[in-house]
Structure 1
Amino acid sequence: MLAATLAAPSTMRNPRIYLPQPLSVESELQLNDEAANHVARVLRMKSGDPLVLFNGEGNSYQARVVNVDKRRVRVTIENLLASTADGNLKIMLGQTLSRGDRMDWAIQKATEMGVTDIQPLFSERCEVKLNAERASKRVAHWQQVAISACEQCGRNRVPRIGSPQAIENWIDDQDSDLKLVLHHRTDQALDSHRKPDSVSLLIGPEGGLTQPEIERAQAAGFQATALGPRVLRTETAPIAALSLIQYLWGDI
């Protein structure tokens, strides 16, 4: 018999936990070490407490803690929940790497704003240098930032974080309906475009994109777009742009 689909209850008393494994109604399972530690030691949940599980594939499930001990947490999945936090507009974000926690902040907020794919980029004025080992560790860290943001904001699909690549490679690879490069020296505004089904958004580094990089993007079909008269920081620009994109063509 098919289980009923329920509206998701309040996340304040019903924490959302990401669990990267198959999930199904009426099954009982053991949480992995990371999720178990969060449930048992951080949230201090006990047997009978409710929680929501999701695995990044689009669904979430109402579950309940069955047993908690020092090493293991077992839960049972009760119902499939209705999802409303993942929109239909596909947004690919090309974000040039920035120093410190600016990149973390941009990824966290972009995830909250519904972006579907985040590609870290190297550009001419990018000051961040990463070898293969450091890049792999940073991508794993950024993916966890996105997962945590999904747990908080109610999204069931986790954005993919790509391995850092050269800006020109990402530019040439985009085939979205609408391709935008933020550039404050233009008069074209976002609302001058028709509603797209997919958007690629290119954000430059702290020093901005060079003129050849902007011209390269425009030659590949990107349209220079301004967000007003002020010059925004590299971690602020994607949030402002994504907010407007979702307002114009998405679910805000």
Structure 2
Amino acid sequence: MQRYFVTPEQIADRSIVLEGDDAHHITRVMRMEAGDLIIVSDGAERVAEAKLINLSPGRVEAEVNEWLPMTGEPVWSVTVAQSLPKGDKMEIVIQKGTEIGAAAFVPFESQRMIVQYDGKKEAKRLERWGKIAKEAAEQAHRSRIPSIEAVASWEQLLARIASADLALFCYEKEGGGLGLREAVARHRLNENWGGEERRILLIVGPEGGFTEREAEEAEKAGAIVVGLGKRILRTETAAMVGLACLMYESGEMGGA
């Protein structure tokens, strides 16, 4: 069943209004008709199965058939902090990361990043990234759309490490040393975690990798420096591998 996200204001009692791109998708792309069923989420507290009533290219009205449980969200809340990669790689990280289960994305600047960050284009870029996250969340049947923060400086990224229950700094020079899985296992043992929700920050470097100084600064700020195996991964691959490992360790895939 096709899923759509709306704002809380678009759901009133048992009626739902979908507009803009969503209405276009329903009427022109999916070619749905009155009586067809869809799933609608406000991205916060409510998910409903709804029946289409009135359809036009710019506005679709539906009525709630039944309220559904908020499923599709991992127990652990993982934020992917990704140093800005070149080209469309950040879009890939957001799309695939949303499908896997990331709760949020924080693009940030680091010393060896190749792309030249242009703050004047940030609003437009954030809008596009948000659209990609929304579409991926709909496709993956998420209950929430991951948030995407404005590009952070290296200093701002270091400052937020302390607010995470666990911060993992992915460093290629640690490939043969402490692995992500071992780091999580040690931390869970020390902190007596159990299955409750935890806030995890997964930090991934750019194409050129992190510098030794950045690794030292991250560790000093409270992050655990980890490797993702003996192979050197592309930056967008590293984000997906690290995130998938965390989903497995949380029991999301039956591994805990």
Question: Is 2:51 the partner of 1:64?
Answer: yes
Cα deviation code 1:140-164 (max 9, x no counterpart): 1111111111101111111110011
The answer as to 2:191 corresponding to 1:190 is no
Matched, 1:206 2:193: no
Tell me, yes or no, if the aligned pair for 2:172 and 2:209 is still in contact at 8 Å.
Answer: no
Give the alignment's TM-score, normalised by structure 1. 0.89
Aligned residues: 239
- Look up the equivalent residue of 2:187 and give its one-letter code: R
**Which 5+ residue runs of structure 1 have no aligned equivalent?**
1-13
Q: Which residue does the alignment assign to 2:106?
A: 119
Offset of residue 50 of structure 1: 0.5
Deviation at 1:29, TM superposition (A): 3.4
Distance 1:154 1:58, change over 3 A: farther
8 Å Cα contact 2:180-2:226 kept in structure 1: yes
What does residue 251 of structure 1 align with? 252
SS in structure 2 of the partner of residue 235 of structure 1: helix
Residues 116-154 of structure 1, C-alpha deviations (whole Å, 9 max, x = no match): 121011111112223333011111111111111110111
- Structure 2 unmatched runs, 5+: none
Query: Quick one: percent identity of the two aligned structures?
Result: 30
How many angstroms apart in 1 are the aligned matches of 2:10 and 2:97?
26
1:97 aligns with 2:84: yes
Tell me the TM-score normalised to structure 2 length: 0.88
**Matches of 1:245 and 1:79, distance apart in 2:** 33
Displacement of 1:26 after TM fit?
Answer: 5.5
What SS does the corresponding residue of 2:216 show, helix, strand or coil? Answer: helix
User: Aligned residue for 1:41?
Assistant: 28
Distance (Å, rounded) in 1 between the aligned partners of 2:58 and 2:142? 28
What is the deviation of 1:23? 5.7
AA aligned to 2:166 is L
**Which protein has the bigger helix share?**
2
1:24 CA displacement: 5.1
Distance in 2 (alpha carbons) for counterparts of 1:93 and 1:206: 16
Partners of 1:239 and 1:35 lie apart in 2 by 28
Structure 2 counterpart of 1:227, which letter? Answer: L
Tell me if structure 1 keeps the 8 A contact 2:23–2:56: no
Q: 1:117 to 1:70 in 2, by over 3 A?
A: closer
Q: Would you say the 8 A contact 1:180–1:202 is kept in 2?
A: yes
Pick one of 71, 74, 78 that aligns with 1:87: 74
Query: Could you tell me whether the CA contact under 8 Å between 1:96 and 1:126 is conserved in 2?
Result: yes
- The equivalent residue for 1:3 is none
